[in-house]
Structure 1
Amino acid sequence: GIWELVLEFLMHPNHRLHETATCLINSYFSTSSKQLGLKESKSNQEFPLLLKPSRLFAVASSLCCQLEAHPAGPNYTPCNTIVENLVFSICGLYSFAKHNCDQKLHEYWSSLAALDHMLILKFLELLGAKKEKNVLICLGNENLEEDVASLLVVPLLKKLGDVVLQSPNLEQ
C-alpha cells in the first residue's frame, strides 16, 4: 500500500523523496496522536498501520540512517520534522514495550505477522544491530531474558548515540 511506499521513500537516496516522506509521516503521526489521544494498546492488531511497533521501528531506523548519512554540520541541520518523528516513534516503541513488559520476547515475536518479522529484521540489519538480530534467530529458547524494549528501543538509542558522537558539531 501507500504507507509501505512512503517507508521505502524514507531510505531513498533522493533528498526530496525522503524529505517528503518525512513530512507525510509527521502529518500522519500528528493526526493519529490527536485522534487516538495516544491510547496504549496491548494487541498489535489494535494499532493503526504506521503506529504498529514494527512500523514505528522502521520509521525510527530510517530516520537514524538519514541522520547518519547527513550529519548535522555547517551545511545541514536536521529539520525539526525528523527530530519530531524520531521522538514520536521511539517514545511510541518505549510505551509499547513498557505496557507489555511482562510479555516475553518470544511471545511478542510469535504474535507478529511475517511482514512484521521481515521489517524488523531488515531494519535491525540496517542499524547494524547484530546482537538483537541473532537473538531473534535463536528465539526457540523460551528462557531468553531479553524483553521487547531490548529489541525495539535499545538498537535505536545506540545508533542515535553513534550518530551524535560522529557529528562534526560535537564540542569536545
Structure 2
Amino acid sequence: MVFKFLLHPHAWLRNKSCRLLNLYFEALAGRKRPECRTLVADSLLEKPSSLFMVAVSLCFQLKEQPTTGNIDVDLLTANIVFAVSSLHSLIGQFDQATHNRFWSSLGEDEQVVFLKAFEVLDAGKGRSTFLALTSGKRTENGDDDVRNVMIGSLLKRMGKIALDMESVQMRVMFNVYKSFASQLNQEECRLYAYKILLPLYKVCEGYTGKIITDELKQLAEEVRDSIRDKSLGNKMFVEVYSEIRNSLRTKRDKRKREEKLMAVVNPERNAKRKLRLASKNKANKKRRMTSMKLSRWACS
C-alpha cells in the first residue's frame, strides 16, 4: 500500500509514503549481508518489477516536487539512489541475462507491473516500449542489456525532468548521479555514462536553454569531475564527453538547416517562430536584469 501511495495525487500522502519508504530502505540496508548492495531475499522488493515500479514512482515524485516550501532533498535523493542501485544489483544477479530471455521469462503479474511502470515513466511511448521488449523486438537504441533498458530509462527520465523544471529537481538529480556512480565500477559506469553525463554537459557548457545559477553550475561541475576521477576514468570520460559534444553539434546543425529551409518554404511559420524567440529572449533578459539588481542590493 505504501508503494501505491507514492503515486497518489495528494502531496501529503506522497510525502508520508516517501518517508515510510526511506525507513524501509534503511531497515533493508541494515539486514544486508555480506554485500550492502544485495537485496535480502524475503523483502517486498525481491522482484525486479516491484523495484522498478518503486524507482519509477520516485521519479514521479521528483517531477511533482514543489518549487518552494520545506522540501527534503536528501530524503528523496537517498530513496532514488537506493532504489536504482538495488535494481542495478538485482538485475546483475541474473547470469548473463540477455534481453529476450529476461523479458520472455516474466510472469503475468510481473508483466502488469512492468507495463504500468513504463506507462508512468513515459506516458507517450511507455506502452509501445514495453510491448516491443516483451515481443522480442529491439529497443529504439538497439540495446540488449536489461540494466541499460531499465536503469538507463530511469536516469534519462530524471535528467529530462531536472532540465525541464526547477533547481530543486536539478539538485536532486546531481546528487543522485554522484552517489549512484560512486557505487559502480568502471565497466558498470560506462554502461550509463552517456545518460548521466548528457544533462551534466548541458548544464556545465550552457546548453540548457535557460538561466542556471552559479551554485548549480558549480555543483554540476563537481559531480562531473567526481564521476570522471572516481568512477569512469579520464580516457573513457573524454570518449563519452566527446560523443555528447558531437551529437549535440550534429543536432544543432540539423536544426539550423531546417530553420533556413522553413524561411523559404513556409515564411509565415518562420515569422511566428522568430516572434516566439524574441518573446523568450525578452523574458530571459528581464530575469537577468532582476537578478543583477537583487545581487547589487544584497551587496550594498
TM-score, with normalisation over the residues of structure 2?
0.48
The equivalent residue for 1:149 is 147
In 2, the alpha carbon distance for the partners of 1:9 and 1:24 equals: 10
Query: Could you list the runs of 5+ residues in structure 1 that have no partner in the other structure?
Result: none
What is the SS of the residue equivalent to 2:9?
A: coil
Distance in 2, matches of 1:54 and 1:47, equals 15
Partner of 2:49: 54
Alignment partner of 1:12: what SS? coil
The corresponding residue for 2:93 is: 99
Percent of aligned pairs with the same amino acid:
28
Higher helix share: 2
User: Retained in 1: the 8 A contact 2:143–2:149?
Assistant: no
Paired residues for 1:8-27 under 5 Å: 8-27=4-23
Match of 2:79 in 1: 85
Q: 1:59 and 1:29 mapped to 2: Cα distance?
A: 11
Name the counterpart of 2:59.
Answer: 64
Which has the higher relative contact order, 1 or 2, with Cα contacts under 8 A spaced 6 or more apart? 1
Q: Does the 8 Å contact 1:7/1:59 carry over to 2? A: yes
Q: What TM-score results when the alignment is normalised by the length of structure 1?
A: 0.79
Q: Indicate the residue corresponding to 1:32 in structure 2.
A: 28
Q: How far does residue 132 in structure 1 lie from its aligned partner after superposition? A: 3.5
Task: Write out per-residue CA displacement over residues 97-135 of structure 1, whole angstroms, 9 at most, x where no aligned residue.
Answer: 333361112222233332221111111111115464243
Q: 1:52 to 1:59 in 2, by over 3 A?
A: same
Gaps of 5+ in 2: 171-211, 214-300
Q: CA deviation at 1:153?
A: 0.5
Shift of 1:52: 2.6
Q: CA 1:39–1:66 in structure 2 vs 1: closer, same or farther (change >3 Å)?
A: closer
Matched residue pairs, number?
A: 162
Instruction: Say whether residues 1:136 and 2:130 are aligned partners.
Output: no
Deviation at 1:29, TM superposition (A): 1.1
Distance in 1 (CA, whole Å) between partners of 2:155 and 2:70 is 22
Larger Rg: 2
Aligned residue identity for 1:13: P
Offset at residue 86 of structure 1 (A): 0.3
Deviations 1:59-101 (A, max 9, x none): 1111111111225x34463532221110001011112233336
